[in-house]
């Protein structure tokens, strides 16, 4: 396969990954997405990010009570966990597969279409579900339940196994082979963490969120406390 264009950044990342394989080097963990059955918890698909993102942007929208309403008795109360959103850019490049020199021409022909499709189908209902609903509608069924998707988990290390819903998804294809198959792309993902307000405590995703929150509480306890002296005061007046 002929490749057009070059990407020094990806070459650098590949060299970094190669260096990490030296004896004694720590194993490089990767982030990724796992799809599981929301009822049984059975794993349906594991998608590993080819490169870990350089940045991970997280936002927390606090669910408070009172505030602008002027009810002072509610000013310090929380209605539930904050709405947490995550944004990242993931890079996908065929150069790693080609450099391994283990894939035949048939395997490399689609470029990175398979990797992109694995991510894109997260936000699509199954074609079989669409056909089944169409058959129900044609048969005169008045109420058709919305199609349930697998539970999506974003995993970024042991302390972050998060049930999420993809809210933003964009793909920028940056290079192509001679058959116009994409061979390099950047995928921008936006996700909202699903918590117990969304799923309930008995749902698999709800229990995973509670574990995430408990991990966060333990990490907070291990953080070194400050002192009034560092703040320039002797105590609270």
15 within a domain of the structure (yes/no)? no
Mean pLDDT, residues 11-40 taken together: 70
Mean pLDDT, residues 135-155 taken together: 89
Q: 56, 51, 65: which is closest to 84 by C-alpha? A: 56
Residues of the domain holding 186: 36-124+147-220
- Express as a percent the part of the chain with pLDDT over 70: 81
161 within a domain of the structure (yes/no)? yes
59 within a domain of the structure (yes/no)? yes
45 within a domain of the structure (yes/no)? yes
Secondary structure of residue 34 in the 3-state scheme: strand
Place of tokens 């929150």: 213
Question: Structural domain tally of the chain?
Answer: 1
41 within a domain of the structure (yes/no)? yes
Within 10 A of 14 (CB to CB), how many other CB atoms are there? Answer: 16
Secondary structure of residue 54 in the 3-state scheme: coil
Supply the mean pLDDT for the chain.
85
89 within a domain of the structure (yes/no)? yes
Mean pLDDT, residues 36-45 taken together: 92
- Residue 66's pLDDT band, with cuts at 50, 70 and 90, is low
Q: At residue 195, does pLDDT exceed 70?
A: yes
Q: Establish how many alpha carbons lie within 13 A of residue 25's alpha carbon, considering only the half-sphere containing its beta carbon.
A: 11
pLDDT in the model for residue 24: 62
Q: 97, 92, 100: which is closest to 109 by C-alpha? A: 97
Q: Give residue 193's Cα distance to chain centre.
A: 9
80 within a domain of the structure (yes/no)? yes
175 within a domain of the structure (yes/no)? yes
Mean pLDDT, residues 73-97 taken together: 89
- For 134-168, give the DSSP string: HHHHHTT-S--PPPPPPEEEEESSTT-EEEEEEEE
């Amino acid at each position: 396969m002929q490749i057009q264009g070059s990407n020094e950044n990806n070459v650098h990342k590949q060299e970094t990954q190669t260096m990490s394989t030296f004896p004694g080097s720590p194993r490089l963990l990767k982030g990724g997405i796992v799809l599981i059955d929301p009822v049984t918890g059975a794993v349906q698909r594991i998608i590993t990010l080819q490169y870990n993102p350089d940045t991970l942007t997280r936002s927390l929208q606090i669910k408070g009570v009172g505030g602008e309403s002027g009810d002072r008795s509610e000013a310090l109360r929380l209605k539930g966990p904050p709405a947490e959103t995550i944004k990242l850019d993931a890079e996908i490049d065929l150069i790693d597969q080609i450099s391994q020199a283990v894939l035949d021409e048939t395997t490399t022909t689609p470029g990175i279409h398979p990797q992109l499709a694995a991510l894109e189908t997260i936000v699509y209902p199954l074609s079989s579900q669409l056909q089944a609903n169409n058959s129900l509608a044609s048969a005169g069924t008045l109420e058709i339940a919305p199609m349930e998707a697998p539970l999506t988990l974003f995993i970024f290390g042991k302390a972050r196994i998060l049930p999420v819903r993809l809210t933003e998804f964009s793909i920028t294809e940056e290079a192509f082979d001679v058959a116009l198959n994409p061979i390099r792309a950047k995928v921008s993902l936006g996700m909202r963490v699903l918590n117990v307000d969304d799923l309930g405590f008995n749902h698999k995703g709800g229990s995973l969120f509670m574990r995430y929150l408990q991990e966060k509480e333990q990490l907070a306890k291990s953080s070194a406390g400050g002192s009034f002296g560092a703040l320039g005061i002797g105590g609270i007046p």
